Structure formats: C-alpha cells, structure tokens
Amino acid sequence: MFKQVILMRKDLGMSKGKIAAQACHAAIGAYRESIDLYPDKTRAWMREGGKIVVLWVKNKAELIEIDKELPSKIPKQGVVDAGHTEIEPGTRTCMGLGPWEEEDLDAYTGHLKMVN
C-alpha cells in the first residue's frame, strides 16, 4: 500500500484556505518528484486510490527534524511561501512526502495528528 503525506506547520495559524493551498503545492511537488524517480510506485499509488493524509507538525524545527531523518530515496517537496497573503515571504509552511510505501512513511510520521 502506498500513500502521500503532507506535513503542515501548526504554529503558523494559517486559515483553512491557506492550509489547503499549501497542501496542494506540497502534494503536486512531491508527486512530480515521485513520478520522475519512481513511476511504477507512483502509478501503483494512483491505482490504489491516491491516498493522501495531512498531518500537523508543531513548528519549523519538527518539520526540519523529520526531513533530516527521512531516507533520501523518499520523494519530497518542501513549500516556501511567497508571502502574498497570510505568511511572511520565505516561510517554510509544509512538506509533501511520497507517494511511497505506507509503512515506511509511518515510521517517521505515524506519531503525528491529522489536520482537522
């Protein structure tokens, strides 16, 4: 089983719309990386229904810590906001991981709570 995970910073206090937009940027970016590097895995994820979960990280430090721990083979895409709406320019808001094997991603993100 495959899934994609979006790690969203909770400390920024973004509106629901901003969170949705940032999650989309992360999902698309990570997907593009994945389809280029691992087309078979990415297509398998799509055949399975394209599972995506969006999870909270406390702050930038936790986002960076997870990023450092991830094996380099896992496709990922960080999002840095342009600052046109709610967030200061250059703020790292979230990161997309995968699609990748669910159990591998859970080893690094399974302790996190879903965005609600």
pLDDT digits (tens, 9 = 90+) for 14-57: 999 999 999 999 999 999 999 999 999 999 999 999 999 999 99
Nearest-CA neighbor of 67 among 95, 42, 93, 32?
95
Sheet strands (E) in the chain: 2-9, 52-57, 76-80, 92-101
Q: Is this structure's pTM higher than 0.85? A: yes
Assign a CATH topology to domain 2-109.
Answer: Bit1 (3.40.1490)
Query: Would you tell me how many other CB atoms lie within 10 Å of the CB of residue 14?
Result: 21
Give the Cα separation of 36 and 39 in Å (integer). 6
Give me the residue spans of the domains in the chain: 2-109
> Residue 87's pLDDT is what?
94
